[in-house]
Each structure stands twice: as C-alpha cells, then as structure tokens.
C-alpha cells in the first residue's frame, strides 16, 4: 500500500504501487491537465515578449485532495483558486522553470500522455529551449515563436503582431549599438 500519501488520501483508496499511481496521473492529466505556453507582452523583455510555459491541472473545489496528491507526487508547485472560476474550481500549477525541467518534463517523458502527446512535445521543446537561452538570440526566438503558433494559434496576440514587435525591438537595439561608439 502507498502509505506515503496517507496524510492526503486513505491508502486503501490509492493504487497499491507508485508506478500505478503514476499512470493514473497520466490519465487524469490527459483529461484535465494542460501544458500551456502563453506569449505575453512584456516591455522589459529583450524582444518585447515573454514565453510563459505553465503546467496546470484543474479540479472542482471539493476534489482538492487529488491536487494535493499531485503536489506530493511531483514535490513542487502550488494550488490556487482557478482564475475566473474562483468559487468552484482549483488549479494545481507548476510554472518555475527549474521544476518544469527537473520534475514535470522528465515525468511525462517517462509516462507519456496518450491524448496530449503533441501538446506535451512542444511544451518540453520550448522549456528546454528557454533553458538553453535560445530566447536571447533573435532568430532562435522567432523560430520558437513560430513553433508555438504552429502548435496552436488560438492566442491573444496575432503572430504578425508578435513578429513585427520582435523586429522593431531588434532593429532599435542594433541601432543603439551602432550609435554607441
């Protein structure tokens, strides 16, 4: 029995092996989890935009236990009222890049989502690219942005808007450098 989570859930109600619990979590995440990448306007960012990867899982308020279980299994993240549905739903959220790199991504590389595999693949790619600092070079940054929009373009900002702002920032930065001496 999985006694290690007994403070959260009666061990009799859990699968009897950790490995089984891991696959249970994949099924749950494939339904109510999200490997989200948002592109946010951010003036102090080098190219005017921030790429913001967040892993989250939503549950009705009365099932907080299951989110506490996720937090205990992944040993990271936090639980917050779901933005926009504060009275009825909760969200388990992991957004710190170190935790995504060291905990979330390795877990789902080992235990693969069946439904959300594409969503997860691009998520892992983007987080790894950010980790390597690829967002600091204008061409790599634009390539990343293109990949993100290719995966899903249901986004607040149009791709053209994002790319032209990157170019504007980059050109104005280059000009400053040329003028510097």
CB 4 to its own copies: min, Å: 15
117 is a site residue for its own copies (CB under 8 A)? yes
156 is a site residue for its own copies (CB under 8 A)? no
d(CA 151, CA 117): 12
DSSP state of 111: S
Residue of 11, 21, 50, 169 interacting with its own copies (CB under 8 A): 21
d(CA 73, CA 68): 9
Considering CB under 8 A, how many residues would be counted as binding its own copies?
27
Q: Are 68 and 79 in contact (CB under 8 A)?
A: yes
* Residue 48 vs 113, nearer CB to its own copies: 113
64 is a site residue for its own copies (CB under 8 A)? no
23 is a site residue for its own copies (CB under 8 A)? yes
Residue of 4, 31, 174, 175 interacting with its own copies (CB under 8 A): 31
d(CA 69, CA 86): 20
75 is a site residue for its own copies (CB under 8 A)? no
69 is a site residue for its own copies (CB under 8 A)? yes
Secondary structure of residue 142 in the 3-state scheme = helix
Residue of 11, 32, 72, 165 interacting with its own copies (CB under 8 A): 32
Token pair, residue 166, equals 């990157």
Residue of 4, 6, 7, 27 interacting with its own copies (CB under 8 A): 27
Q: Are 24 and 12 in contact (CB under 8 A)?
A: no
Percent helix, strand, coil in the chain (nearest 5)?
A: 55, 15, 25
Phi, psi (degrees; rounded to nearest 5) at 167: -60, -45
Residue of 11, 30, 34, 159 interacting with its own copies (CB under 8 A): 30
d(CA 34, CA 54): 8
* Residue 31 vs 158, nearer CB to its own copies: 31
* Residue 59 vs 166, nearer CB to its own copies: 59
- Which residues are near its own copies by CB under 8 A? 9, 13-15, 19-32, 59, 63, 66, 69, 111-112, 114-115, 117
């Amino acid at each position: 029995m999985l006694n290690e989570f007994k403070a959260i859930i009666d061990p009799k109600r859990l699968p009897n092996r950790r490995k089984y619990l891991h696959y249970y979590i994949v099924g749950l995440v494939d339904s109510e989890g999200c490997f989200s990448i948002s592109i946010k306007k951010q003036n102090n960012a080098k190219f005017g935009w921030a790429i913001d990867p967040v892993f989250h899982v939503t549950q009705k308020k009365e099932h907080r236990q299951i989110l506490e279980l996720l937090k205990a299994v992944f040993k990271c993240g936090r639980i917050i009222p779901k933005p926009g549905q504060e009275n009825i739903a909760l969200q388990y959220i992991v957004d710190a890049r170190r935790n995504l790199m060291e905990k979330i991504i390795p877990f789902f590389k080992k235990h693969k989502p069946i439904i959300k595999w594409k969503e997860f693949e691009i998520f892992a790619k983007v987080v790894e690219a950010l980790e390597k600092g690829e967002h600091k070079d204008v061409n790599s940054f634009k390539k990343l942005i293109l990949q993100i929009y290719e995966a899903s373009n249901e986004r607040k900002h149009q791709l053209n808007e994002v790319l032209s702002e990157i170019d504007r920032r980059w050109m104005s930065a280059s000009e400053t450098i040329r003028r510097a001496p």
